[in-house]
A and B are shown apart, each in its own frame.
Chain A
Amino acid sequence: MFYREAGQFKSTYQADMAVFPIRQDRIGLAIILAIAFVVIPYFGDDFFITSVMIPFLVFSLAAIGLNILTGYTGLISLGTAAFMGVGAYACYKLTTMFPNVNIIVLILASGLFSAAIGVLFGLPSLRIKGFYLAVATLAAQFFLQWAFVRVPWLFNYNASGAIEVPQRLLFGIPVTGASAAPETRYFVCLVLVVGLTWFASNLVHGKIGRSWMAVRDMDIAAELMGIKLLNAKLLAFAVSSFYAGVAGAMMIFLWYGGGEAADVFGIRLSFNILFMVIIGGLGSLIGSFFGAAFLSILPTAMKFGLPALGVPMAGATAEHVTFMLIGGLIILFLIVEPHGLARLWQIGKQKLRTWPFPY
């Protein structure tokens, strides 16, 4: 009734090809952005912002990165966490070398380092695919994680081997370091995520995105159509690693604020992001957000939300229950809806269009 496109006529090609062709969708997006930019920083308390929203944004960006590679181009990667680590360490090196450069610029620049490394490890993708490629990217995961621990230059010969995030200002306001307000850090994350999502949306809806999807659906056919496989695949690796790198830099600089960095970018994180992409929906940007929300917010909500609602549950029990619940839900989703939450969302919207009189 409310969600119906009757009366919305399109008189230009541009309007017909818009990403959000229905007016209600555009209004909905505006409302979501308004909530994200105004309501959450204004009403959310520190715990909600630092432990729920910032992780959600960081994982969303990483999931978008992996989705570009796995969902849109069909190349499986198990090295996402390592590429995130490259971003984090690159950002640390850059900010200690150039302390006066704007930290946002450095966070974005560290994505470029990650992209370069991603291309390097993406080279085998021309010859191998599927499980074989997954194992090749696994090599990236192990090698890079090893390098984070064993190359002292990367952490400036720090005795503990940890990255300690220094304070950096933006227009006189601390953005990183302990004195940065949670709202500031959240805001920077949000701007980066929204900007990069917009960029990714343009990529996947354009020529490049179509060539990726052609490669995914059948690479020989794509080649016959004149798509250069090497270029398309390496570009996918580069863009995907760029997103992962930026997410990693955000993770350490805007969320963790230092600590045991090498351990953070382990294989478990790679798998977690892969699950986010699968549960959220392969080949869908909004699915990346759904998946990240599902896998990063649910454990927190279980552990802190249930006791706050008056359900007495010890932390360890909550932890065990979360493990079982997430495992079970992954299986359930794969059986019930292999295309993930994004597909459910789509079905929901389709049903709403005909509501209350379904065909």
Chain B
Amino acid sequence: MKTQHLMKGAALGALLAAAGFAAPAAAQDSIYVSNNAYRTGPFAGSGIPIGDGMRDYMTMINERDGGVNGVKIVYEECETGYDTKKSIECYEQAKAKNTVVYSPWSTGATLAAIPRAHIDKIPILSMAYGLSASADGTNFPWVFIPPFTYWDGASLMVKHMAAELGGMDKLKGKKLGLIHLDAPFGKEPIPVLENLAKKYGFEVKLYPVAAADMQNQGSLWLSIRRDRPDYLYNQGWGAMNPTAVKEAIKNNFPINKLVGVWWAGGDDDARAGGPEAKGYKSLNLNAAGTNFPVIQDIQKFVVEKGKSLAPKEKVGENLYNRGVYNSMLLVEGIRNAQRITGKKVITGEDMRRGLESLNITEARLKEIGMEGFATPTTISCTDHSGHSKAYVAEWDGTKWTKKGDWLEPMKEEVRPLIEAAAKDYTEKAGNWPKRTESCEKSS
């Protein structure tokens, strides 16, 4: 019994020691990128395709080009299960391993990481999620939120509604319902919607879904049936989205009036509704499908060689491509940082400079095989979002299709709110670090 106990003790001790010193320095000829992922937990349904897309693009860059300008990217996932506690662990791990950038992949994790990142000097890339106010680069030099924020998304929703009704003046007296996850992520669009509602005279109804009730929205849809909103904006994620689509069909809510935020646009989300989900809409920032050179390269260099975790038929789905887009931003940020600093192996501070002067033009998109995949995005010193364009995608029963043109968010409505919220945030935080980083010119 003694030896057994000793062995157990020794094993546990070794584990603990390893947990404490789990930070081997990254090799000198590579760039380490840490990315949060959730392949477990209630949000895995959305997290897996995104994680696959991100991972595959990075693998493709290493396989096809031998890295970025010859420097291999060491890309590592840190499993969070969408749990803030584990995300904080992952942040600490990423910091200990000298990551050049941190991708939180959850609004809660972003909120927890933002104050730390400004002290630790680690750039955060929260691609179209996270704190909308962090688009203000003057106050948040270390946070990047391209190509747009949830507040832009809310304004796009109003714009879409107006376009279908036939003009902004037709919004008067209409009802817009917001079905949202009852968490910081879901609540983000509320201030903008309320602001626009006041301005254009429509009404906003809130339908919060607690994280525990994601798959049990019955009572909520009773109120929706009672209120009969003209449009529903679905700020949902994970298991909440397929449930919302199914409930809309069950409750006879016109499916083409249900519009998801870009995170509610998973193929599996819409597929859950069966053939009746045809017409379900979602805002989108990237194109779906495999009809792009970049996706074909991924198929050729990663999927066909068996280096992908994604099932073959899932490559090119909407959320997969979203992950590809996110990785593209990271790679372009690294490339830009290398160009500015002249270094091969960059640090987090270089990465910040690289992201801040990121200018992805139409020509550049074509070069990397993403023509028509997304719109050009420019990040500047003051504007860390770019407020780029999105489009309304429609589910045709089997896949997402592009419906209509690329739309611009109401930047003039959103921007003042962002600046006010950023000021409010930094004032409340007390002793928020003043921006000392010099501005990099966009190029």
Contacts and interface: CB of A to CB of B under 8 A. Distances in A.
Interface of A: 44-48, 50-52, 55, 96, 99, 149, 156, 159-162, 164-168, 174, 177-179, 255-260, 262-264, 266-267, 297, 300-309, 314-316, 318-320, 348
B374 interface: no
B201 interface: no
A179 B21 contact: no
Given A178-B115, A263-B84, A319-B79, A309 B18 contact: yes
Nearest to B309: A314
Interface in B1-57: 5, 12, 14-24, 37, 39-40
Secondary structure class of chain B's binding surface, majority of residues: helix
Bin the interface of chain B by size. 35 or more
B74 interface: no
Interface string B147-191: 000000000000000000000000000000000001110011011
29 contacts: A46-B92, A47-B93, A47-B95, A50-B92, A52-B19, A52-B20, A55-B85, A156-B428, A159-B187, A159-B188, A164-B428, A167-B430, A256-B85, A256-B88, A257-B116, A259-B111, A260-B112, A263-B108, A263-B211, A266-B211, A297-B19, A300-B19, A305-B15, A305-B22, A309-B15, A309-B18, A314-B77, A316-B37, A318-B79
Contacts of A314: 77, 79
A146 to B, nearest CB: 8
A264 B84 CA distance: 8
Contacts of A149: 182, 208, 210
Given A51-B92, A161-B184, A315-B79, A177 B22 contact: no
Contact of B15 (A99, A266, A306): A306
Given A50-B92, A161-B183, A178-B119, A303 B79 contact: yes
A156 B424 CA distance: 12
A314 B210 CA distance: 30
Interface in B81-121: 81, 84-85, 88-89, 92-93, 95-96, 107-109, 111-112, 115-116, 118-119
Contacts of B15: 301-302, 305-306, 309
Given A178-B116, A301-B15, 18 more contacts: A44-B20, A159-B191, A160-B107, A168-B430, A258-B111, A259-B84, A259-B111, A264-B85, A267-B212, A297-B16, A297-B19, A302-B15, A305-B14, A305-B22, A308-B18, A314-B79, A315-B37, A319-B40
A193 B415 CA distance: 45
B438 interface: no
A320 B425 CA distance: 37
B421 interface: yes
B288 interface: no
A14 B78 CA distance: 53
B418 to A, nearest CB: 11
B131 interface: yes
Interface in B49-82: 77-79, 81
A159 B78 contact: no
A260 B95 contact: no
B431 interface: yes
B28 to A, nearest CB: 20
A71 to B, nearest CB: 24
Contacts of B112: 256-260
A302 B12 CA distance: 10
A47 B208 CA distance: 36
A46 B95 contact: yes
A44 B96 CA distance: 12
A266 to B, nearest CB: 7
Closest 9 CB pairs of A and B: A315-B79, A260-B108, A178-B115, A259-B112, A48-B20, A308-B22, A316-B39, A160-B184, A305-B18
A284 to B, nearest CB: 19
A162 B111 contact: yes
B89 A51 contact: yes
A52 B108 contact: no
Contacts of A300: 19, 89
A156 B119 CA distance: 25
B20 A99 contact: no
Given A99-B430, A267-B212, A304 B18 contact: yes
B20 A45 contact: yes
Contacts of B81: 319
A315 B81 CA distance: 10
Contacts of A319: 39-40, 79, 81
A179 B14 contact: no
Contact of B19 (A161, A178, A260, A305): A305
Contacts of B88: 50-51, 255-256, 259
B115 A258 contact: yes
A110 B421 CA distance: 28
A164 B111 contact: yes
A260 B78 contact: no
A47 B96 contact: yes
B119 A179 contact: yes
Contact of B187 (A161, A178, A267, A320): A161
Contacts of B24: 308
Nearest to B44: A316
A305 B16 contact: yes
Interface in B188-229: 188, 190-191, 208, 210-212
B23 A47 contact: yes
Given A51-B88, A257-B115, A166 B22 contact: no
- Chain B CB within 10 Å, residue with most, of A256, A266, A267: A256
B20 A47 contact: yes
Contact of A304 (B14, B19, B119, B187): B19
Contacts of B191: 159
Nearest to B17: A305
Nearest to B425: A164
A48 B37 CA distance: 21
Contacts of B184: 160-162, 259-260
B234 to A, nearest CB: 18
Nearest to B118: A178
A164 B184 CA distance: 12
A306 B17 CA distance: 11
A315 B92 contact: no
A316 B47 CA distance: 11
Given A162-B111, A164-B425, A178-B119, A301 B19 contact: yes
A81 to B, nearest CB: 12
A252 to B, nearest CB: 10
Contacts of B108: 162, 259-260, 263
A268 to B, nearest CB: 9
